[in-house]
Structure 1
Amino acid sequence: MHPEGPAVSDAPLLRIEGLTKHFHLPGGRVVHAVEDVNLAIDRGHIVGLVGESGSGKTTVGRTLLRLTEPTAGRMIFDGTDVFALSARDMRVWRRRLQIIFQDPYSSLDPRLTIAAIIDEALDTRGLPKGRARRDRIAELLELVGLAADHATRYPHQFSGGQRQRIGIARALAVEPDFIVADEPVSALDVSVQAQVLNLLEDLRRRLNLTMLFISHDLSVVEYACDEIVVMYLGRIMEKGPSRALRADPLHPYTKALLASAPQPDPTRVRTHVPLAGDIPSPISPPSGCVFRTRCPIAIAACATRIPPTRDLGGGRSVACLRVGEGADHPPFEMEAHA
Structure 2
Amino acid sequence: MSQSPSPAGGDVLLSVRNLSKRFHTASGPVKAVEDVSFDVGRGRIVGIVGESGSGKTTAGRCILRLVEPSEGEAVFDGVDLFKLPERALRAYRRRMQIIFQDPYSSLNPRMRVGDIIGEAIDTHGLAKGAARQARIADLLTRVGLSPEHARRYPHEFSGGQRQRIGIARALAVEPELIVADEPVSALDVSVQAQVLNLIQELQKELGLTMLFISHDLTVVEYLCDDIVVLYLGRILEQGPSREVYANPRHPYTKALLSTAPIPDPTVRRERVILQGDIPSPLDPPSGCVFRTRCPFAIEACARAVPPHESVSPGHSVACIRQAELATPATQKVTA
- Which bracket does the TM-score occupy, shorter chain normalised? over 0.9
- What are the Cα deviations for residues 241-291 of structure 1, in whole angstroms up to 9, with x where unaligned? 111111111110000001122333334445321210000000000000000
Matched residues, number:
327
Once the two structures are superposed, the pairs formed by residues 1-338 of structure 1 within 5 Å of their partners are 8-9=10-11, 12-27=12-27, 29-323=28-322, 327=323, 329-330=324-325, 336-338=331-333
Letter in 1 for 2:243: A
- Would the alpha carbon gap of residues 331 and 95 (structure 1) be closer, same or farther in structure 2, given more than 3 Å must change? closer
Letter in 1 for 2:24: H
Give 1:45 shift. Answer: 0.3
What is the SS of the residue equivalent to 1:54?
coil
Q: Determine if contact 1:271/1:333 at 8 Å carries over to the other structure.
A: no
Q: Determine if contact 1:259/1:335 at 8 Å carries over to the other structure.
A: no
Q: Determine if contact 1:99/1:180 at 8 Å carries over to the other structure.
A: yes
Give 1:201 shift. Answer: 1.2
What is the SS of the residue equivalent to 1:292?
coil
Structure-2 separation of matches of 1:271 and 1:7? 32
- What are the Cα deviations for residues 174-220 of structure 1, in whole angstroms up to 9, with x where unaligned? 11111100000111122211111111111111111000000001111
- Would the alpha carbon gap of residues 205 and 86 (structure 1) be closer, same or farther in structure 2, given more than 3 Å must change? same
Give 1:50 shift. Answer: 0.2
Q: Which runs of 5+ in 2 are unaligned?
A: 1-6
Q: Which runs of 5+ in 1 are unaligned?
A: none
- Would the alpha carbon gap of residues 108 and 330 (structure 1) be closer, same or farther in structure 2, given more than 3 Å must change? closer
State the match for 2:4 in structure 1: none
Letter in 1 for 2:158: S
Q: Determine if contact 1:272/1:334 at 8 Å carries over to the other structure.
A: no
Structure-1 separation of matches of 2:248 and 2:190? 27
Q: Determine if contact 1:33/1:56 at 8 Å carries over to the other structure.
A: yes
Q: Determine if contact 2:117/2:172 at 8 Å carries over to the other structure.
A: yes
What is the SS of the residue equivalent to 2:94?
helix
Q: CA RMSD in A?
A: 1.7
